[in-house]
């Protein structure tokens, strides 16, 4: 299954499932990371961490470990 970490800069994907648990899941949901949301990867740091994405018109940065827990289509 493809994760947000696998999406290349300039590409977009649709969120299928968020595997993050606890308070972090609530934080992601509050930022709009929900099933069906479109996320575009803006850029990735040279070592792959962090990943800058655009969702609902604003930019966020995720750690690679968080991006690995966001399943996309």
Report pTM.
0.85
The answer to whether 16 touches 24, Cβ cutoff 8 Å, is no
Q: Tell me the pLDDT band of 13, cut-offs 50, 70 and 90.
A: very high
pLDDT in tens, 46-61: 888 899 999 999 999 9
The answer to whether 19 touches 30, Cβ cutoff 8 Å, is no
40 has pLDDT over 90:
yes
Q: Using the 8-state DSSP alphabet, how is residue 7 labeled?
A: P
Fold of 4-72: SH3 type barrels. (2.30.30)
Q: Which residues contact 48 (CB under 8 A, 6 or more apart)?
A: 5, 64
What distance in Å separates the CA atoms of residue 27 and residue 44, rounded to the nearest whole number?
A: 21
Q: Tell me the pLDDT band of 11, cut-offs 50, 70 and 90.
A: very high
Mean pLDDT of the chain: 91
Give me the residue spans of the domains in the chain.
Answer: 4-72
């Amino acid at each position: 299954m493809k994760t947000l970490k696998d999406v290349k800069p300039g590409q977009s994907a649709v969120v299928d499932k968020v595997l993050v648990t606890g308070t972090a899941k609530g934080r992601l949901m509050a930022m709009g990371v929900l099933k069906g949301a479109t996320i575009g990867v803006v850029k990735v740091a040279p070592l792959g961490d962090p990943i800058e994405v655009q969702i609902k018109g604003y930019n966020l940065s995720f750690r690679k470990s968080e991006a690995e827990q966001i399943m996309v289509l």
